[in-house]
Structure 1
Amino acid sequence: MKIKHSYIFGMLAAALLSCNNEYLERYPIAELAPENYFRSAAELQNYTNAFYNRLPDALAIHYNNPNQADDEARNTLAAEIQGTRETPSSGGGWDWAELRRINFYLENSHNCADEAARLQYDGIARFFRAYFYFDKLVRFGDVPWYDSVLEIDDEGLTKARDSRKVVFANMLEDIDFAIANCQEPKSGQLITKWTALALKSRMCLFEGTFRKYHGLGDAEEILQQCVAASEALINSGTYTIYTSDPNTAYQELFIAEDAITSEMILARQYDASVPFVHSANFYILSASYGRPGLQKSVVNSYLMKDGSRFTDIPGYGTMQFFEETQNRDPRMAQTIRTPGYKRIGRNEVSVPDFATSVTGYQYVKYVLAPAFDSGQSTNDMPIFRYAEVLLNFAEAKAELGTITQTDIDKSIKLLRDRVGMPNLDVAAVNANPDPYLLQEYPHVETGTNTGVLLEIRRERRIELVKEGHRYRDLMRWKEGARLAKPFYGMYFPGAGEYDLDHDGTIDLVIYQGQAPAAVPGRQYQRLGELVLENGENGGRIVNMPDIIKRWDEDKDYFYPIPTQELQLNTNLQQNPGWEDTGS
């Protein structure tokens, strides 16, 4: 039974209000004017509830391109992944209405005589201002910093962009205020001290590594703040890694009706009785909505069950589905369909469905019983979870060059323990860095710590797959060129009949020419429509082979500022490389 928090209804109200331009651009209507409002804790809560609408919904978390970046292939590609972005005339993420609402609140909350309540809700507002600017910083780099409400004739409307260092310093002030003043009791749906620590951990890891790999300087101090925020959350003992059966625990996190708050720091809540539902089942299993599938490079990244590297096995690149899925990290079978998979609510074994997955590696993460297939899923969706904080901590320590085995034991080890995997051995991986991962990440810092850096990136990719982190990870590591590489699926030696799960029955027929007579229970794919990289001679499935993807190292790490904004404010300067791209 879900507990419905009032902020859900605040979010819905905010969504409706967002259609009212008058509300966005002017002071609120009379009963919300500052002289008549913000006088009680209840009024502060009601106003700040609307800020929760800024948080990502299920679609943004598990589906939106380019969030999944090079982890996922589908039959539609975002402009960021194709390399076809152009400068828009308007929009493009250069929106400030939400910031105005936050600043309006912060300018007027002093009307409330209840200081404890004011500090708590000011903390929430400043959390959301840091969250707002984090998105702007990631997207545009330098942006104007505004901490007050501007009127139509205010000179601040035509200011130049502030440097990312100035913006980030202000973000740190906001998030530190939130940490100090938000409520301490944890909640899976409300902003707390722990949510603020998790955001600080996330944004400091991003900014520290972005500065490091893009040569901007001052990276170490920011990475140390990531370590401090992560460690404060870890040492508090407030959260733990959820465990049950190693073969089911990871998947259980993402199919739970109610967020498992031992690990989920903040989740987007869904409830059919409101109604407030999402469509994860439909997006993952429909033949008409992108047919998403995990990429081959992710499958290659899963370790063997004994902790050894799959890509060290001779001939790993031409292994077929059954062989490549045996004795792997149990998170693989809890992320995609593997031999023996039984869907929730069904007793029969199901193989991957090529009609709904372009790579053959079909997701099970987030997938509920068939009753939810029509777009009525109600499992809560992760926004911040403790596993990410552990990964942030380990990565920041590794990038600083200070990581020890003890650090791994209190971070990465907990994630591997959940699924019964051996611990990461710092000395062993540094002595023998994975050559496959070195090819995946050519810009990684090389030296005595390279092996553990690569292994933490492996762990992050596997643990957080399909949670919306990958695109930003590639941007901060300066590995955007990965998006221009082909996206691959399963390997097949050519046309033929395939028993995918080795149960003695044919599951898939890849044919040439005329379609064979259909046999119940078999899937049929025409060679050429199912494209193999070597044609008749087989190979990996190639996703969208006719699309040429491009990546421009000089401009594609940032988005362009819309042309209308540049015309309205001549003090703004376009991001490098975007000056000549038309809308």
Structure 2
Amino acid sequence: MRLINRYVLGFLVMGLVACNDDYLERYPLAELAPENYFNNATELENYTNAFYNELPDALAIHYNAPNQADDEARSTVADEIQGTRITPASGGGWDWSELRRINFYLENSHKCTDEAARLRYDGVARFFRAYFYFDKIVRFGDVPWYDSVLEIDDEGLAKARDSRNFVFDKMLEDIDFAIANCPIEKSGQLITKWTALALKSRMCLFEGTYRKYHELGNWESVLDNCITASEELMDAGVYSIYKSDPNTAYQELFIAEDAITSEMILARQYSIAIPLVHSANFYILSASYGRPGVEKSLIDSYLMADGSRFTDNPSYKTMQFYEETQNRDPRLAQTVRTPGYKRIGENKTSVPDFATCVTGYQYVKYVLAPNFDTGNSTNDMPIFRYAEVLLNFAEAKAERETLTQADIDKSIKLIRDRVAMPNLDMAAANGMPDTYLAAQYPNVSTGANKGVILEIRRERRIEMIKEGLRYRDLLRWKEGERLEKPFYGMYFPGTGEYDLDHDGVIDLVIYEGTKPTTVPGRQYQKLGELVLENGASGGRIINNPSILKSWNEAKDYLYPIPTQDLLLNPNLVQNPGWDNSGI
């Protein structure tokens, strides 16, 4: 069954099994009595279909501001970046209803006498329990572990938080069960053995590096689990890096109507026929949805096409748009509009639109033809893809100081081969670590692998942009202070007329005072509304210069527990630094 249909069916199933989202509320036995359900494979499948609704959708990928972290600037600034989060009274991610549904299933699936079916769907359920708890430990750190359905008078409801180490060990038990019992048949829409390996790779990389950089101890074996899971998936030969023309292959992954399953391990599926659509085009190209633009430090991180560092050029800081986009890693032109860009379905070239992009670096990743601009995009959204697993493998080995050039050749090289970029040379990277990257990531140790760790982080940022991973990457690397830095856009030497793509036609006019007589086809930006570092003397665009950004190293790596939950359970202890004055 297509995953898109599973979502639809999932909503119907949830309507049968629950009357509200309260973890303490019993399921209405008149609607779904355990003794009358869970008797065969179809019933197990139908119940577990509902769990797929917990997977991220296109809205989470595009509009959840913290996901983009320092990769993207917008006309607004998220609370996580402003440092204006407060302790909520309720909600805030401290929700356990989905866990109850999973545990309810696992307590009753034994009623099915078809053991093969039970093991299969128990594997799916335990995948989703590991997935559920992964989000919880990322968000809150220590959390209570529940693997049974608790009733309203159960003492377990008042338990203290379990340590993240204990919870993570339980997550490993769940994901290993899923790996052993989920189907081996490849699917871009269903949970399989390969999806479970991809989740294990992701969650172990997060937890291992989080423990390392936050000095929590016991990180080595967790990274070893990441390496083992990644390598098992790699050695299976089920997935590969999608390749076609190096100048289009990367972009093709994200505009495909149906997920390219040679690389996409799991994707959220969309179709106009259901209808189930998303608004990627509208989000990226409208003036009313945040005007997202790629941040300049990411643009500067792209290598030259010959593999050399763009930032080694002494004049890189003052290069204008046309010059800075020439002879770069082909993924740059497949991620943002660069000179010569032609939109899908159009023959004319288009320059960045400053009315809909605050930095000038406007996304083309995910953007379809103009007929999808009204919020009816149908390209599938990635959740897990093979390139991430390769990056996880390389990073974990580098952090464990077991990485070899042969490891790079079977991971990073495959990703770069897609766009005909030179391979990463481990000895060269470690022999002369990039000072530009070192300034971005000051917490990377000065060990023998410093240079290659920095290069793997470069590769990850470029390859995985706008796939919902960046904020968590900064959390696990303990680099949250990057979010305090100004978010920059294109460089302009001052007011004047600009031919952005060097086609002989003026595209942009930056002016002071009275707006010049308008000429059709030109964009006009008033200085002050478009803010340059040095005003009329030029500089990079500064986004939201009047909004203070603040990161508190003592508390901001975790979210607060809602005050109502602290009142209901006196054994819960608030995360460090968060205010409980609402109690």
TM class by smaller structure: over 0.9
- Which residue number in structure 1 is paired with residue 12 of structure 2? 13
Q: Does 1:338 align with 2:338?
A: yes
Match of 2:319, as an amino acid? M
Give, in angstroms, the shift of residue 28 of structure 1: 4.0
Counterpart of 2:568?
568
Question: Deviation at 1:8?
Answer: 2.6
- Say whether 1:478 aligns with 2:478: yes
Confirm or deny: 8 A CA contact 1:17 1:23 kept in the other structure: no
Deviation at 1:12, TM superposition (A): 3.7
- The residue number in structure 2 matching 1:150 is 150
Cα distance in 1, alignment partners of residues 21 and 356 from structure 2: 44
Query: Which SS does the other structure have where 1:68 is aligned?
Result: helix
Residue 15 of structure 1 deviates from its aligned partner by 7.1
CA contact (8 A) 2:10 2:47 kept: no
Aligned residues: 582
| CA drift at 1:204 | 0.1
Secondary structure, in 3 states, of the residue corresponding to 2:444?
coil
Deviations 1:363-421 (A, max 9, x none): 00000000000000000000000000000000000000010000000000001000000
The residue aligned with 2:209 is: 209
Aligned-pair CA distance for 1:64: 1.1
Identity %: 76
Q: C-alpha separation between the residues in 1 aligned to 2:526 and 2:14?
A: 45
CA contact (8 A) 2:250 2:419 kept: yes
The aligned counterpart of 2:535 is: 535
Q: 1:170 corresponds to which residue?
A: 170
How far did residue 566 of structure 1 move? 0.4
Does the 8 A contact of 1:243 with 1:418 survive in 2? Answer: yes
**Coordinate RMSD, CA, aligned:** 1.4
What whole-Å deviation, never above 9, does each CA across 1:283-330 have from its counterpart, x for those lacking one?
000001100000000000000000000000011001000000000000
Confirm or deny that 1:288 pairs with 2:304.
Answer: no
The letter of the residue matching 1:119 is: L
Given residue 551 of structure 1, which amino acid in structure 2 is its aligned partner? Answer: W
Is the CA contact 1:61–1:383 (under 8 Å) kept in the aligned structure 2?
no
Q: What are the equivalent positions in structure 2 for 1:446-461 lying under 5 Å apart?
A: 446-461=446-461
Is the Cα–Cα contact under 8 Å of residues 141 and 164 in structure 2 kept in the other structure? yes
Is the Cα–Cα contact under 8 Å of residues 507 and 523 in structure 1 kept in the other structure?
yes
In the other structure, the counterpart of 1:414 is 414
1:509 maps to a residue whose letter is V
Which residue identity is paired with 1:319? M
Separation in 1 of the partners of 2:140 and 2:150? 21
**Partner of residue 521, structure 1:** 521
Unaligned runs of 5+ in 2: none
Change (3 A) 1:30 1:19: closer
CA shift at 1:17, angstroms? 6.9
- What aligned pairs does 1:390-405 form with structure 2 within 5 A after superposition? 390-405=390-405
**Once the 2 structures are TM-superposed, how far is the Cα of residue 111 of structure 1 from its aligned partner?**
0.3
Secondary structure in 1 matching 2:65: coil
Distance 2:161 2:114 in 1: 37
TM-score normalised by length of structure 1: 0.98
Q: Alpha-carbon deviations, 1:134-181, whole Å to 9, x = none?
A: 000000000000000000000011000000000000000000000000
Letter in 1 for 2:279: S
Code of the residue aligned with 1:483 in structure 2: it is L
Task: Give the aligned residue type for 1:245.
Answer: D
Structure 1 residues 581 and 340: alpha-carbon distance in aligned structure 2, compared to 1, 3 A threshold: farther
Displacement of 1:447 in angstroms is 1.4
- 1:501 paired residue number: 501
Q: Any idea what the Cα deviations from partners look like across 1:6-56, whole Å, max 9, x if unmatched?
A: 413224436767994179722244352110000000000000000000000
Matched, 1:219 2:219: yes
Q: Structure 1 residue 62: deviation in Å?
A: 2.7
Moved more, 551-560 or 6-15: 6-15
2: CA distance between counterparts of 1:554 and 1:387? 33
Per-residue deviation, residues 199-226 of structure 1 (Å, max 9, x unmatched):
0000000000000000000110000000
CA contact (8 A) 1:393 1:411 kept: yes
The change in CA–CA distance for 1:448 and 1:229 in structure 2 (over 3 A counts) is same
The aligned residue for residue 259 of structure 1 is 259
- TM-score, normalised by the number of residues in structure 2: 0.98
Structure 1 residues 258-293: Cα deviation after superposition (integer angstroms, max 9, x where no partner) = 000000000000011000000000000000110000
Amino acid at match of 1:8: Y
AA in 2 matched with 1:7: R
Tell me how far apart the structure 2 counterparts of residues 560 and 257 of structure 1 sit (CA, whole Å).
39
- Alignment match, 1:304: 304
Q: Distance in 1 between matches of 2:533 and 2:189?
A: 46
Letter in 2 for 1:10: L
Q: Secondary structure at the match of 1:32?
A: coil
Matched residues in 1 for 2:305 and 2:14: separation?
Answer: 46
Q: 1:349 to 1:49 in 2, by over 3 A?
A: same
Task: Call closer, same or farther: CA 1:494–1:582 in 2, change over 3 Å.
Answer: farther
Residue 536 of structure 1, CA deviation: 1.2
Alpha carbons of structure 1 residues 15 and 341: separation in structure 2 relative to 1, 3 Å: farther
Q: Match of 1:314, SS?
A: coil
- 1:327-363 Cα offsets, whole Å, 9 max, x none, are 0000000000000000000000000000000000000
Listed one character per residue, the Cα deviations across residues 441-492 of structure 1 (whole Å, up to 9, x for unaligned) are 0001211110000000000000000000000000000000001111000000
Q: Distance in 2 between matches of 1:92 and 1:101?
A: 20
- Cα 1:397–1:533, aligned 2, differ >3 Å: closer, same or farther? same
